[in-house]
Amino acid sequence: MGVKIDPLKCNACMACELACGYHRDDAFALLSSCVVLYRAKDRKDYYGVMLKEEESLIIARPEGLEVNRIGAVDEGSSDKGDASAKPMLLREACDLCDDRDDGPLCQQMCPVGAIYQD
């Protein structure tokens, strides 16, 4: 069970990212967050949210959810090496804020209910 993201509700405010950063660093920062707003295409008004879990990188965008298995090799790829690399290597996977009684802080700090759990 992990957190879920509704990309159509998300208003791109990054509160989740800051909340996660606090969970990671006990301070306000953004570089350690496992939930990250994808905001590189602002000229097209196109954005989404990436969530790093233990085994997957979830990309929630308007088209829907994309689940990328971490380290997976594309079908038909000639890359058969031992991939020790991971996307967002320095960011820990989501642990659902396991040290908080109230659950994930990102969920609590989302102002529009775009983050939830089943």
* Site residues, another protein (CB under 8 A): 8, 11-15, 18-19, 21-32, 36, 38-47, 50, 54-55, 57, 61-63, 68-73, 79-92, 102, 105, 108-109, 111-112
Beta carbon nearer to another protein, 4 or 88: 88
**CB contact burial 47-65 (16+ within 10 A = b; e otherwise):** bbbbbbbeebbbbbbeeee
Q: What is the identity of the amino acid at 109?
A: M
CB of 32 to another protein, least distance (A): 4
CB of 46 to another protein, least distance (A): 5
Answer yes or no: are the C-beta atoms of 94 and 3 closer than 8 Å.
yes
Residue 70, exposed/middle/buried by CB under 10 A (0-12, 13-18, 19+)? middle
CB of 96 to another protein, least distance (A): 13
Answer yes or no: are the C-beta atoms of 108 and 22 closer than 8 Å.
no
CB of 40 to another protein, least distance (A): 4
Beta carbon nearer to another protein, 30 or 96: 30
Beta carbon nearer to another protein, 88 or 96: 88
